[in-house]
Structure 1
């Protein structure tokens, strides 16, 4: 089994491995594949027809995948428990030994993998901590009670809920507020100390029968080739998908062109955009693991760790590359600057760094009145800031007078943050404020956030973000240690270790214009089309594949050159058209057909290719064909631009 951390990586590696080895014995398994495909892969692996299966956490838990001889983990598994679970898929029997290896592609991953493997061998597994008083779960169970019993006593419902361990300390006031919120949303009915079902209770109940996030995905289709290039999750579409906005997928920048019910049309662009990710895929690195990486940086000794010589040498070279500059460790935070970028090197793990990043970016943005770009990983916070920001101001933020004020401060400054939007989508569905099939083109998340401010739903959004993406108690402890001098904060120059946060391990391809591969995809698509022709002389119609057409188009019956390209559904109507008709509609259709046929007569197959492009009519085709094209690619580039323009604007005049 070949475990990876994301679906994109699974697809990328499986396709490359299959191409390199020309081996059909390599499969792929992840959550975006259909159930039939996943079951097929599992069955073929069990039967031994597949020698390797590239997979995500979809094969990590709960499924008998049969006997695996060996496990590969591509880059750090990020958690000790995850490594144990994955390596444990090999040697899965009494008395057998589980065998596997981590392949690290970056020096940070080498150190992280060292820390995780040492902790796994020492049986230092992360504690399982359960969230308390989850309002989304409470809302779901209250509606279930209302559905199962015609009328239920609120006192009895409260007592029932508190018998569950995570709700043992639930306050009655918080319980009543959630009941009232659900009643206001008409998801249930509540009056005189009782609750019952409303007309919306059953639809809500069946849509939300599980608390597992029901994340809708949209296929992303390249407008040039009409091929699917990946999928985007609903939360990313809700937050980022606006016409004209750009994003990154498969290492390439794309721009949103058109939204369909189940897919999105995009075009390749030059600028860098947002990086789509999937809720639940970005596994957080625990504080303890990141601190051990910091200790490895400080001590520079890997003798006690199960790492090979090459991995150890690469890590030590990486540390030596900073020269005499101070290095971020478990006991030191460094702040590096370069132009409009500030990098905070902090070995504090994913959640603490995310908490500090939100604090710093919000306060800097409020102070300077400008937006602050933000990116975090377990060892860095990367800030794109106004040039007037002094790194010493970041130091001041990390030394607050009262560290205990962090949570109330974050509750205020995050209220209008885009950071909350992904959580709002989930919580709003669980409270019945949004339907599962919500149309994101007609919904404004910022407006909804404002509407639900100071409600139990909004408090649940904040609590969910604090629990899943942040670690406030540990961050408070870090801030206290900074104030006490136990963790030093140092401003320094840019180093290779800090700069690694800017690279992010991603290869970004940013073509200045449609590249050769894109244009050849356009050509291949158009030449695969089947064109319908009408001879304006003898009225014969026929079909032919564009690829098979001669350079000059003639009627096969009378050999006339006045041949028009028509839509298949027009064939019968156009054949009966009276070209000598005097009514306005007949004259208009005849003029269009003669213009069309004139283009085909003058430009031959090239005109047919132009007229087969989506949204390209006679006028647009004439304009493109009149233009100067030094190469075939110039011609195809103009056709692609016309298709993109049509896709962007057709909703205004369809």
Structure 2
């Protein structure tokens, strides 16, 4: 081990306090000591931070012993989180103090090495001291580094930097924030003749070489990668009750109980939730079980003071559990964590590894994690996720390709900071950043021109920040450029949350979503940070609250886009589905395979097996990336729904669903509703649409889908949102002006005004547009489209998928079902974040779809066909039942014709003879066919189809004559289908002696009209059947009614016996927990106050005493109050 390169005092401290160096330290120190760029990739807790810092500290110690250290910054440490920056600054004090003690023990002077934090939270006094006397080590964030590079004092301080350390580089590289940082690193390098050494710290990524190139801009970099194959204790926690498409409250209670048990079994537990709402909800229920002081929440909408207090309490052992979102995913120092619980799939392999890595945080310790699936699809995904971790798989990192909005901001900042720049030199400098290495000079010039010209809006000229001397190729800042760049910097989009301000302290305690603030009223009580607050007033951008003093709170909501599942995890999900399908296809049991290959416990394997077995029975296959399934069914209102089963992840499915929605809109002139989740897409159509299922696979093709998708997304909410974000990041719509933050409504108006100038077609009335919208060649418009296509969606993945479909590399199938398959239930019940249109949740057509049936293989297999009794009933209702001559004539007109066979055994012959005598009908003999009874009104159509047919007697045709034989056939088939119910094309062709091809072509025409649907409805034939749409909707309705009829109500005696047992009146339990359960069952029931303690509660609790109720109320779980009916004014009493 090359410790000899370090000063003896440094070696002494290292050996005394930490012992032997870790593998990553031993490999990294020689590389760093040689001055080369280095990327250190290793799991959490492996000593990466000290590996990066110690060489710089040793250099400062040696220099300090030779001479007085000058007041200049030598080391710059960049962390993606402010809290992480504070941690690093605190953790730096230990080695600095320890080395100083070793120096003193050797009788040597102790150089004063100063390390300070510079973030947005740094007080003004500390910033001034840094300007006057720069510290040797500066710890900062990417946003604060940008500000330092833009200010004159910051540029002077950073010009002496010799080493820059970028921590958690993987957390920013795949976002615009990473592109922003990459440009800042190149600006930093330009401040000195000797560019600083770059050291990156990262969890192991794929490909790690791409992360190294991002760090250095493609310059030579040594990668120290110790791998990610660390031992972990991972497992699934499945509730005793079966999971469903939506988690029931009763099942949530089981999850809370299990979480509370795990927390009690461990010293400290970190619980991750995927949303802030779930985070708050879980924290509340755990606090009810474990106590208010034992649990709290931690997420980005809480005030910094609350988050820091939660971190301090967890580290100090005051908290037993902390419920967090991704705000604690990175390596903030929160002390020893014994267990990590993850609620729901984190949607990526790397997120799970990062979060579980928060436990066992230290060299040689074992991380321990438990996953809690929340739905059936979540169970499948979590199983696949554990399999991917077991196999050592990683998500692939995707670095954005030179975002132009970020480039515009950094150009303004650099020109303002340098006060003058040459265009060519600036281009070379900024394209040295890895995300911009392929940026064409023409596009760079477009951005420069945009920043020089600005925009003319109804509020005047905006966004002109540069003077451009095109003759000499020089750039100079306008007067406002530096201030705008300093006050509007960064690449984190503004979500327009409202500050929550506690009165009378005027203390900011967090933020809530703008929509939640709009929908709230004074007096409402909500929870934030496990604390209840009562709203006093809602003002612009602020919600004023007071302590709710124990009043039961609601949980606020935050709106946003859900993160998409990684492509690698989607492939793991597909492999699991394919594996189960293969086992079932070969006649094997899937449960033992899941237990053996994926290590599932029997209870989890049993639930997952039952789910997929029933899904396979309904769809004929378990859909995977190699076999896609399109299912069609009707809701109770008669509307049609399509569900495309495609487990490619929501980014690709969102693109596919949006493009399909656009294609359906153009084909049927109908704005349908659609939603996309990780494994499926739902398209909700109206009652008049009809088409072959197999046709849908050909609606899009790889060569044109991008153009279709671009036109589709222009009307989607994602475009307007990302346009505003990009306009703000690109400084076209400043978020602050004159030192004050601009209200959300004004920022929206400014963004819309800007869009109307650069892209008027996007806001134009659709009725006035002729054809597709023409996309302007504007940098911010181009960037917004690129963000929608590649960030929110995966257009390239969709193009590859469609190309594989066209080459026949993917198997496809379609199923017409009476009820939705189990795999369709989750997308049918999708939340608003999955919607691909702007329809309100309460107006979704999917609300009419009945779901939630029990998993039964026989029922699922039968769902692809209708009960024979249902079909018989519909046929009987559709078939004519004449009672006299005139009604038989009506039947002949409505049905097109009746065959002599169909009339056998009925009283119709005498009535038909009367119609013949009156020359209102005739018998038509078709060669090779049957004898047909035809009314004079329909005779023209029959003669058009079979001109050689013999009439007995010969009568004149009345009514309109079809233009062609094909039109005549279509009209006759239309009438026959209205009377027959499900029928094959051969059955329709036989009485007419028509070629099957002609009948099939006519049926296709009727299908295109939306009149008829094809499928397999009776199950008694392998042939395709055709059914008139209205009759099929009736069959669906009767099938649902039949299922409901099978659920018989219990007798009154059984119900009363259940009520006595439910309320504990038969075997009265004891204790305060039993009392809580009894009160919960009676929640909201009004009764006289005295009756509660005299009659109701003693009848239910064996040892009831008044103090038990007092104890229960004092816990804060329940409150009782008197409800008074509102007074009615005297003159309004009549109402």
The match for 2:565 is 285
- Of 640, 643, 647 in structure 2, the residue corresponding to residue 347 of structure 1 is 647
Q: Does 1:476 align with 2:755?
A: no
Q: Does 1:325 align with 2:619?
A: yes
Equivalents in 2 of 1:378, 1:433: separation in Å? 35
SS at match of 2:813: strand
SS at match of 2:827: helix
Query: What does 1:355-374 align with in structure 2 at a 5 Å threshold?
Result: 355-374=655-674
8 Å CA contact 1:2, 1:54 repeated in 2: yes
Q: Quote the offset at 1:378 in angstroms.
A: 0.6
| Residues 246-290 of structure 1: CA deviation (Å, up to 9, x unaligned) | xxx99xxxxxxx98412589xxxxxxxxx96335xx221122322
8 Å CA contact 2:541, 2:743 repeated in 1: no
Q: Which has the higher contact order (CA 8 A, sep 6+)?
A: 1
The match for 1:451 is 757
The match for 1:261 is 540
| Residues 374-426 of structure 1: CA deviation (Å, up to 9, x unaligned) | 22111011222333344647x54543674033323323332333221221111
SS at match of 1:403: coil
8 Å CA contact 1:352, 1:471 repeated in 2: yes
Q: Quote the offset at 1:505 in angstroms.
A: 7.6
Equivalents in 1 of 2:691, 2:481: separation in Å? 53
Equivalents in 2 of 1:378, 1:427: separation in Å? 26
Q: Does 1:201 align with 2:481?
A: yes
Equivalents in 1 of 2:674, 2:753: separation in Å? 23
- The 1:311/1:350 distance shift into structure 2, 3 A limit, reads same
8 Å CA contact 2:645, 2:679 repeated in 1: yes
Q: Does 1:411 align with 2:710?
A: yes
The match for 2:185 is none
| Residues 39-76 of structure 1: CA deviation (Å, up to 9, x unaligned) | 00000000001011111110111311111001111111
8 Å CA contact 1:392, 1:491 repeated in 2: no
The match for 1:313 is 606
- The 1:471/1:309 distance shift into structure 2, 3 A limit, reads same
- The 1:446/1:361 distance shift into structure 2, 3 A limit, reads farther
| Residues 284-330 of structure 1: CA deviation (Å, up to 9, x unaligned) | 11223223323322322423113222111111111122324234222
SS at match of 1:343: strand
- The 1:232/1:478 distance shift into structure 2, 3 A limit, reads farther
- Of 756, 779, 785 in structure 2, the residue corresponding to residue 462 of structure 1 is 785
SS at match of 1:71: strand
8 Å CA contact 2:643, 2:824 repeated in 1: yes
| Residues 492-528 of structure 1: CA deviation (Å, up to 9, x unaligned) | 222121122122389x999xxxxx999x9xxxxxxxx
Pick the structure with greater CA Rg. 2
- The 1:385/1:194 distance shift into structure 2, 3 A limit, reads farther
Unpaired runs of 5+ in structure 2? 1-269, 455-462, 502-507, 521-525, 528-536, 545-556, 581-592, 736-740, 760-775, 833-839, 843-1081, 1087-1122
| Residues 418-448 of structure 1: CA deviation (Å, up to 9, x unaligned) | 2212211110101222221444445456665
Q: Quote the offset at 1:143 in angstroms.
A: 0.5
Equivalents in 2 of 1:354, 1:451: separation in Å? 29
Equivalents in 2 of 1:212, 1:374: separation in Å? 29
Equivalents in 2 of 1:375, 1:355: separation in Å? 11
- The 1:189/1:430 distance shift into structure 2, 3 A limit, reads farther
Q: Does 1:421 align with 2:720?
A: yes
TM-score by length of 1: 0.69
- The 1:42/1:232 distance shift into structure 2, 3 A limit, reads closer
Equivalents in 1 of 2:744, 2:421: separation in Å? 36
Aligned length: 494
8 Å CA contact 1:182, 1:431 repeated in 2: no
Equivalents in 2 of 1:485, 1:418: separation in Å? 34
TM-score by length of 2: 0.41
- The 1:401/1:382 distance shift into structure 2, 3 A limit, reads closer
Q: Does 1:496 align with 2:775?
A: no
Query: What does 1:571-650 align with in structure 2 at a 5 Å threshold?
Result: 624=1129, 626-628=1131-1133
- The 1:358/1:502 distance shift into structure 2, 3 A limit, reads same
Equivalents in 2 of 1:25, 1:385: separation in Å? 50
The match for 1:132 is 401
The match for 1:336 is 631
Equivalents in 2 of 1:229, 1:490: separation in Å? 54
Query: What does 1:84-95 align with in structure 2 at a 5 Å threshold?
Result: 84-95=353-364
Equivalents in 1 of 2:393, 2:292: separation in Å? 39
